[in-house]
Amino acid sequence: MFYSTFSVCQVVPYHEKYIEQYLDHFNFASFGNKTFKQRYLFQDKWWDKEHDGPIFFYTGNEGDINGFWEASGFVMDIAPQFGALVLFAEHRFYGKSLPAGGDSFKAPYIGLLTIEQALADFAVLLTRLKTQLNAKGSPVIAFGGSYGGMLTAFMRFKYPNIIDGGIAASAPLFMWVPDFDRSFFFKTVTQDVRDVSPVCESKIRAAFQKMNDLASEGTRGLEEISRLFNLCKPVTNLPSYKHLQGWIRNSFANMAMFNYPYAVPLFNLPANPLNVVCKLVLMAPSVIAGLASAAGLYYNGTHGTLPCFDIYKEYVQCADPTGCGLGPNAKAYDYQACTEVRLPDGTNNVTDMFPVLPWTQDMRREYCEKTWGISQRLDWTTIQFWGLKLKSASNLVFSNGDLDPWHGGGVNKSISNTVVAVLIKGGAHHLDLRHHNPADPPGVIQAREIEKTNIQKWILSAKTSRSQV
C-alpha cells in the first residue's frame, strides 16, 4: 500500500524536532523506562495561539514523515484560514523514528511495531506539546491518507479526549473485516483502464495471454519475453516469470493510485498516466510491446531512464500484493501486513485483467510464518478497531476517489450526521489531501469544502464544550 510522497508545487518549510517516547507504552516490565526518539515536523507561522487556534495533526504512516508533508498540502493550504498550528508525526519504525536503530527489525524490538503503540505515540506527543506550548485550549483535528487515514479514524475512536475530529482520506478500513470481499483493488485498477479504453483493456489481457503462450515454449520463449521487456537479467524459470508478472502488475497498481490530473515531477509521471499508458498500448507494434512500454513508463519515471529493467531491485514481493515499496520502510510495512493490517487478495484474470497470481489467506499465513515467524490473529483488528460497527463514532469525514483502487474497502456511505462519507468523482488516491491545483476536478474542490465545513464545526464545538467545563 504505497502512499504518494511527492508534490506538485514548492514545499512549505517546516521545523524538525524529536520527542522521547517509551518503547512500550503498555507493558511496564518489558523494556522498563527505555525510550526512543520519534521525529515530528511542525509549522507555527499561521498559529493564532492567543485565540486557541487549532492544531492540525497528521497521523504519519508507512514512510518518512517529510514525504507526507510534501504530499498533504491541503493541510497547509487551509491552516492560515483556521489560524492553525500544523504538526506531522512520524510513525514508529519508519523514517528516522527507529526504536532500536539497526536492530529495530529484530526480536524483541519488532514486536513493538503495532498500531496501538503508534497511536499511543501520537497521543503522548500531542498531550506533551499542548502542555509545553500552553495550548490546552486548542482543538486538535487529525488528517491522514491511506493507512494514515485509518490511523486518523482510530485516533478518534481510541482517543476522543485528544482528537476532536478527523479527515480520513482513502482509508480502506473495512477490508480488515475477516469476511470482507478483497477482490476490489485490482478490479478497480482494471475498471480504470477500461474507462480509458475497453480496447486497451482487451489488449492488455491479450498481452498477458501471449506471454503465457511464449513461456510455455520453455527457454526460447522466456528469452523472447526477456528481450521484449528489456530485462537486465533474463527470466529463466517459472518463479522468475511470475516475478515479472508481479512487476508488471505493480506498475499498473501504482499508476492507478497516482492517476492525478496533473504531472507528478518527482516520479516523472505525466498527467493522467493511465491515459498515456493506453496510448502506448494502442500504438505499439504488438500487444507484448505495448505492455512493456506501459510498465516502462512507471519504472522509468520512478527510477530515472533505465538502460534495462532489474525486476528484483524495482519490485520486491511481500505480504501486500499491491506492493510494500523498497528499503527499510518496506520491511516495516511487510511486518505490519503480516500482523494487524489486512490487505487485498491477488489477481484471478476474471474480475481483473491481470494474470492468475493468487494471494490467499493460507499463502499469506505461510509467508508470514516463514518470513517473520509469527502467526496471524485474523479477528483481532476487528475487535480492536470496531470493524463495520461505526455508529458510535463521531466527527469524522471519510473521503474516497472513484478512481482510487482502495476506495472499495473504504467508508463510501455516511454513517450518521457526524460520520460523513464523500465520494470524489475523478479522484485518485487521497487527491483531496494534496495542494490545490488548477487541474483539480470539481469533485475534489467540493470535497474540500465539505471537509472545511466540518472542521469549522468541530473546532467550534470543542471550544464551546471546553468553555462550559
pLDDT higher than 60, residue 62: yes
CA gyration radius for the chain? Answer: 22
Using one digit for the tens of pLDDT, what is the confidence trace for 95-120? 999 999 999 999 999 999 999 999 99
Confirm whether 356 is domain-assigned. Answer: yes
Among 134, 121, 152, CA closest to 85: 134
Same structural domain, 242 and 356: yes
pLDDT of residue 4: 39
Q: Are residues 108 and 173 in the same domain?
A: yes
Determine the pLDDT at residue 7. Answer: 38
Buried-exposed string 275-302: b where 16+ CB fall within 10 A, e elsewhere: bbbbbbbeebeebbbbbbbbbbbbbebb
Average pLDDT over residues 152-173: 97
Angle of the 198-215 helix axis to the 219-228 helix axis, nearest 10 = 140
Residues 306, 41: Cα–Cα separation, whole Å: 34
In a domain, 163, yes or no: yes
The pLDDT score that the predictor gives to residue 386 is 84
CATH number at residue 447: 3.40.50.1820
pLDDT tens-place string over residues 444-457 = 999 999 999 999 99
Q: Which entry of 24, 334, 404, 440 is annotated as an active-site residue?
A: 404
Catalytic position from the list 7, 104, 146, 170: 146
Helix axes 184-196, 273-283, angle to 10 degrees: 70
Cell of 427: 479522484
Tell me the angle at which helices 198-215 and 184-196 cross, rounded to the nearest 10 degrees.
120
Q: Indicate if 353 and 391 belong to the same structural domain.
A: no
At 127, list the grid cell: 498531550
**What pLDDT score was predicted for residue 9?**
46
300-336 pLDDT, tens digit per residue, is 987 778 899 999 999 999 999 999 998 999 999 999 9
How big is the CA angle at 159 (ends 136 and 465), to the nearest 5 degrees?
50
- Do 310 and 454 sit in the same domain of this protein? no
Neighbour count for residue 202 (Cβ, 10 Å): 15
Of the listed ranges 82-91, 118-127, 370-379, 413-422, the least confidently predicted one is 370-379
Tell me: the pLDDT tens digits for 141-153? 999 999 999 999 9
> Does residue 368 sit within a domain?
no
Q: Which of 300, 328, 360 is the last residue of a domain?
A: 360
Residues 333/317, Cβ–Cβ less than 8 Å = no
Does one domain contain both 193 and 101? no
Are residues 238 and 125 located together in one domain of the fold? no
Chain CA centroid to CA 258, Å: 11
Please give the residue range of the domain that contains residue 439.
15-178+382-467
Query: So what's the pLDDT on residue 32?
Result: 82
Q: Report pLDDT for 6.
A: 37
Residue 404 annotated among the catalytic residues of the structure: yes
pLDDT of residue 469: 57
Q: What is the model's pTM?
A: 0.95
Last residue of a domain, one of 360, 392, 425: 360
Q: 148 and 89 share a domain?
A: yes
List the catalytic residue out of 91, 429, 430, 435.
429
**Angle, CA of 384, 89 and 182, to the nearest 5°:** 40
405, 257 contact by CB (below 8 A): yes
At 244, the pLDDT band (50, 70, 90 cuts) reads: very high
Partner residues linked to 424 by β-bridges: 401
Residues 225 and 89 in one domain: no
Contact (CB, 8 A) for 80 and 39: no
In the chain, the number of structural domains is 2
Asked whether residue 353 falls in the same domain as residue 434, the answer is no
Exposure string of 219-241, with b = 16+ CB inside 10 Å and e = fewer, is: eebbbbbbebbebeeebeeeebb
- Any idea what the CATH number is for the domain that residue 252 is in? 1.20.120.980
Give the C-alpha separation, 57 to 142, whole Å.
5
